[in-house]
């Protein structure tokens, strides 16, 4: 299995509760390496652009407000089959449906404030990484 990259966000509900380290530890223990990381406060334009695929969904406005409600940590993660590995440790979107031992089961507050984002395909991972990082910021 090849080493690939995915894109992760530790969302405002997690940074607010001082869970940056706890969430990162779960990612690392799942076999993912933090190849790039920065703590940012997204602008409205960034949040709307990032979630553009959800623009027509009823929760889009609230989702954008949530994502700009506090700092987030954007990360590039590397590992074998990184997209799937990350999605597996994240757990289901709704924490009520997430498996025991996943990040969302352990820490998420609600279907919206669900602590982490992870890319859902290699193609989207590449786009999302390029949305937030320059190549020289990904140091391995």
Residue span 75-104 as binding mask against ligand ATP, x where in contact by CB under 6 A, dash where not: ------------------x-----------
Give yes or no for residue 59 binding ligand ATP (CB under 6 A).
yes
Q: Which stretch binds ligand ATP (CB under 6 A): 39-47, 68-76, 117-125, 127-135?
A: 117-125
> 102-117 b/e with 16+ CB inside 10 Å = b?
bbbbbbbeeebbbbbb
Instruction: For residue 121, state whether it binds ligand ATP (rule: CB under 6 A).
Output: no
> Does 41 qualify as catalytic in the annotation?
no
State CA 115 to chain mean position distance: 8
Residues with a catalytic annotation lie at: 117
Residues that bind ligand ATP (CB under 6 A): 54, 59, 63, 93, 111-112, 114, 117-118, 120
């Amino acid at each position: 299995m090849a080493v690939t990259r995915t894109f992760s966000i530790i969302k405002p509900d997690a940074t607010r509760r001082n869970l940056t380290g706890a969430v990162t530890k779960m990612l690392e223990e799942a076999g993912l390496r933090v190849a790039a990381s920065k703590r940012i406060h997204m602008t409205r334009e960034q949040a709307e652009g990032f979630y553009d695929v959800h623009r027509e969904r009823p929760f889009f406005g609230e989702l954008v407000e949530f994502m700009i409600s506090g700092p987030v940590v954007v990360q590039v993660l590397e590992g074998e089959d990184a997209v799937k590995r990350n999605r597996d440790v994240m757990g289901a979107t709704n924490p009520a449906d997430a498996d025991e031992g996943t990040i969302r089961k352990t820490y998420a507050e609600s279907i919206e404030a669900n602590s982490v984002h992870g890319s859902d395909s290699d193609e989207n991972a590449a786009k999302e990484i390029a949305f937030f990082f320059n190549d020289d910021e990904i140091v391995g």
